[in-house]
């Protein structure tokens, strides 16, 4: 990136591409900031480059860091250079907290089914100096340019909550109980807190009608007990590497969601209504 103060970059993680969210996320940023894209390209990290990238900000020490490497290694991410007044501060303000459950309403991570600190949709540089170093690393991993103002046809996928670990766990376990996944409700409202509440309700209800091993697995998943889930995940049947990665990622946020949502009036009302219908 040049020294132009009107320019700043975003990096959409692989989960944005997999979930088909590139067009919607683009539109959200444009509507929220008035910025425009001047350059776009796809990059593919290896373990060394993603570690170098996040080492610039000392972000490689968290417990979920190995999952970040798994997410980015050998998967495409999408880099955009945005231009406009106060581009970097605007993008920083729009990003939202690393933990989506703490993201302010109106930020990226408060929406788009975002529920964990690994697949949390986008990266924005801390400052201009770091941005230049980050762009150098990204350009060394460039695999193709795209046209500004348009979305590459490879990125026009149907939007699905494939970035949500709660969704993947619920989807995997749903075949063991007579309860349809509330996907239509989630598609109507992609608000992170609301969709987390929908899926927490679903999993708690489901835990009452599945076998004891699946019940224990569900409780461990919601409690963030990674060791238990990894040792017993075979109870879910065949799951893909992507599903496993998202489920692992969710366990770094599930206890926080449970604490936040289980005491909210909306969550308690949903539980009460479901229990009344069941009774």
Q: What is the pLDDT of residues 22-58, one digit of tens each?
A: 999 999 999 999 999 999 999 999 999 999 999 999 9
* Mean pLDDT estimate for the chain: 90
Answer whether 108's CB lies under 8 Å from 122's CB. Answer: yes
CB atoms within 10 A of CB 124: 22
Confidence of residue 171 (pLDDT cuts 50, 70, 90): very high
Please list, in sequence order, all residues whose beta carbon lies within 8 angstroms of the beta carbon of residue 16, skipping any fewer than 6 positions away.
Answer: 22, 25, 78, 121, 122, 163
How distant is the alpha carbon of residue 239 from its chain centre? 19
Cα–Cα distances in angstroms (integers) from residue 116 to residues 97, 103, 166, 179, 186, in the given order: 10, 11, 9, 25, 16
How distant is the alpha carbon of residue 275 from its chain centre? 30
Confidence of residue 265 (pLDDT cuts 50, 70, 90): confident
Superfamily of domain 7-147: Nucleoside diphosphate kinase-like domain (3.30.70.141)
Cα–Cα distances in angstroms (integers) from residue 44 to residues 11, 114, 125, 226, in the given order: 11, 22, 18, 28
CA–CA separation, 99 and 230 (whole Å)? 22
Instruction: Report pTM.
Output: 0.90
Confidence of residue 185 (pLDDT cuts 50, 70, 90): confident
Quick one: tokens of 121? 């949709």
pLDDT value, residue 183: 83
Cα-Cα end-to-end distance for the chain: 61
pLDDT value, residue 143: 92
**Spans of all domains in the chain:** 7-147, 165-278
Mean pLDDT of 175-185: 78
Quick one: tokens of 246? 């998202």
pLDDT value, residue 161: 95
For the segment 114-155, what is each residue's pLDDT rounded down to a tens digit? Answer: 999 999 999 999 999 999 999 999 999 999 887 655 556 556
**Reading across the β-sheet that carries 122-124, which strands appear in turn?**
122-124, 7-12, 76-83, 36-44, 142-146
């Amino acid at each position: 990136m040049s020294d132009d103060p009107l320019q700043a970059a975003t990096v959409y993680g692989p989960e944005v591409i997999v979930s088909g969210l590139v067009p919607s996320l683009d539109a959200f940023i444009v509507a929220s900031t008035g910025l425009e894209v001047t350059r776009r390209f796809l990059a593919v990290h290896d373990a060394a480059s993603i570690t170098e990238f996040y080492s610039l900000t000392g972000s490689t020490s968290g417990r979920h860091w190995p999952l970040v490497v798994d997410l980015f290694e050998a998967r495409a991410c999408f880099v955009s250079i945005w231009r406009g007044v106060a581009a970097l501060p605007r993008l920083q303000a729009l990003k939202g907290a690393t933990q989506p459950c703490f993201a302010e309403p109106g930020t990226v991570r408060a929406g788009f089914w975002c529920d964990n600190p690994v697949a949390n949709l986008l990266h924005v540089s801390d400052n201009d100096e770091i941005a230049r170093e980050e762009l150098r690393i990204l350009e060394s991993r460039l695999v193709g340019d795209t046209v500004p103002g348009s979305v590459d046809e490879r990125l026009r996928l149907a939007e699905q909550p494939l970035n949500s670990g709660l969704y993947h766990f619920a989807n995997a376990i749903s075949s063991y109980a007579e309860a349809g996944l509330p996907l239509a409700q989630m598609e109507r409202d992609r608000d992170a807190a609301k969709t987390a509440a929908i899926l927490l309700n679903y999993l708690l209800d489901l835990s009452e009608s599945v076998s004891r091993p699946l019940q224990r697995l569900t409780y461990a998943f919601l409690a963030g007990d990674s060791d238990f889930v990894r040792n017993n995940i075979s109870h879910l049947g065949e799951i893909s590497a992507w599903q496993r990665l998202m489920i692992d990622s969710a366990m770094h946020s599930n206890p926080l969601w449970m604490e936040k949502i289980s005491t909210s009036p909306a969550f308690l009302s949903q539980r009460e209504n479901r229990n009344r219908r069941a009774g």
